Amino acid sequence: MMARLNGALRRLPPGAVYLLGLIPLAWIVWLTLSGGIGADPVKGIEHRLGKVALWFLLGGLAITPALRLLGLNLIRYRRAVGLLAFFYVVLHLLAWISFDMGFLWGQAARDLVKRPYLFLGISALVLMLPLALTSNNASVRRLGRNWRRLHWLVYPAVALGVIHYLWQMKVISAEGWTWAGALVVLFVLRLPGVNRLRLH
């Protein structure tokens, strides 16, 4: 069954993943225009963009364990998933700066001091920036082995993103603990020995 699924995936070009990755954005736009985004549209837009970013961030981390444990080969889509994660993180930040702060930089700076979890989110974006800029074949060739070392930044970036999400809650919900648990599991699966397990 997994062989048939991998065969079907090979017929899906990586470019299609980018198009599929825009579906959550289209849904958020539709909710906003139709009045279904919630009582506080600004917070609704921000939170949904941030949550979609987390989907792609954790989804990117899950690609290698899925191959090692299940034999599901999604490696060719990892770049697209990573860039979509960066795209949604940027949109999440822009929504906060524009809709919430109104491009008032002094107010934004005060908000960073008042709500430190914002700083963690921005730190995650800063760590992701060099990853996005080097997610091309030319950079892979130019950096050589250093490209892999650089892309280890994805781990602290994802961790900061999840902590940012949890910290902004007054009380961590069941969904929040699910995100935290997923992060821990994906990190554990990277440990020596564990990543050599096979479930198929």
Q: What is the mean pLDDT of residues 163-171?
A: 91
Sign of the Cα torsion 61, 128, 45, 177 reads positive
With tokens 């564990």, the residue in question is: 194
- For the stretch 132-149, pLDDT in tens is 999 988 988 898 888 888
> Per mean pLDDT, which range of 17-21, 136-140, 177-181 is the poorest?
136-140
Written in H, E and C, the secondary structure of 8-20 is: HHHCCCHHHHHHH
For residues 112 and 118, the answer to whether their CB atoms sit within 8 Å is: yes
Encoding tokens for residue 197? 């397990």
- Residue among 1, 158, 6 nearest 74 (CA): 6
Domain 2-196 -> CATH class: mainly alpha
Long-range contacts of 177-182 (CB under 8 A, 24+ apart): 179/54, 179/58, 182/58
pLDDT tens, residue by residue, 80-127: 999 999 999 999 999 999 999 989 999 999 998 899 999 999 999 999
Where exactly are the structural domains of the chain? 2-196
List the structure tokens of 22: 């825009």
Q: Which tokens is 73 given?
A: 């080969």
37-86 pLDDT per residue, tens = 988 999 999 999 999 999 999 999 999 988 888 888 889 999 999 999 99
pLDDT of 82 reads 95
